[in-house]
Amino acid sequence: NAGVTQTPKFRILKIGQSMTLQCAQDMNHNYMYWYRQDPGMGLKLIYYSVGAGITDKGEVPNGYNVSRSTTEDFPLRLELAAPSQTSVYFCASSFPGTGTGELFFGEGSRLTVL
Amino acid sequence: GNSVTQMEGPVTLSEEAFLTINCTYTATGYPSLFWYVQYPGEGLQLLLKATKADDKGSNKGFEATYRKETTSFHLEKGSVQVSDSAVYFCALKASSNDYKLSFGAGTTVTVRA
């Protein structure tokens, strides 16, 4: 079972560069999320999507963009990388129909902006 | 708003010791509560959950009881193992109509042999 797959696992960017973090899930989940994890700060929601073609901002969306053209994929775009975006990024998915509220997470993408 | 506060770490224990990680929440409605665990180098995975007051969630020897009167969901394990070394996150889902989770800051637990 692949579950939620994120790529790349590690990346170093220079200030001002752009990149896309890829996320794919094979569980046919409607809902997908992007979180960032900073030391001592827990996880903060960046963007989320309730289905293909629908996205919405979370707590910390500035500096990021997302798209959801298919149920399976939910890429996160950084347009002008800044040191404040150094973090570990987690993609997650869920299927509200189960009623459990459980999120399934990828293994994370560690991004460093220098 | 809805939020979760959990005890700060890190916590270091010897094998077979008792573990408690405190978690309190603030919510306007009737939230569901979760504990997630993150093992080194991995993503988060659900450890246990409780959806209403007085429910007890349990898994892998861990337990947590949803206490509405104290707005708490403390995680406990009676005898930890080295393999329990991980970061533990308390999380809240505000209502049955909500699909986003709010996470606490995480507590790093290290168990020594």
Residues of A in contact with B44 (CB under 8 A): 43, 90, 92, 103, 105
Mean pLDDT across A27-48: 91
Q: Are A87 and A36 in contact (CB under 8 A)?
A: yes
Residues of chain B falling short of pLDDT 50: none
Q: Is A16 helix (H, G, I), strand (E, B) or coil?
A: coil
Q: What is the DSSP string of B28-89?
A: SS--EEEEEEE-TTS-EEEEEEE-STT-EEEETTEEEE-BTTTTB--EEESS--GGG-EEEE
Read off the tokens for B108: 């790093």
Please give the pLDDT value at position A40. 76
Please give the pLDDT value at position A97. 66
- B49 to A101: CB separation less than 8 angstroms, yes or no: yes
Please give the pLDDT value at position A1. 65
Residues B90, A104: Cα–Cα separation, whole Å: 15
Q: Are A90 and A108 in contact (CB under 8 A)?
A: yes
Please tell me what DSSP assigns to residue B68.
T
Q: Best of B44, B51, B93 to disrupt the A interface by mutation (most A CBs within 10 Å)?
A: B44
Residue A85 pLDDT exceeds 90: yes
Amino acid at A68: R
* Contact B31/A at CB under 8 A: no
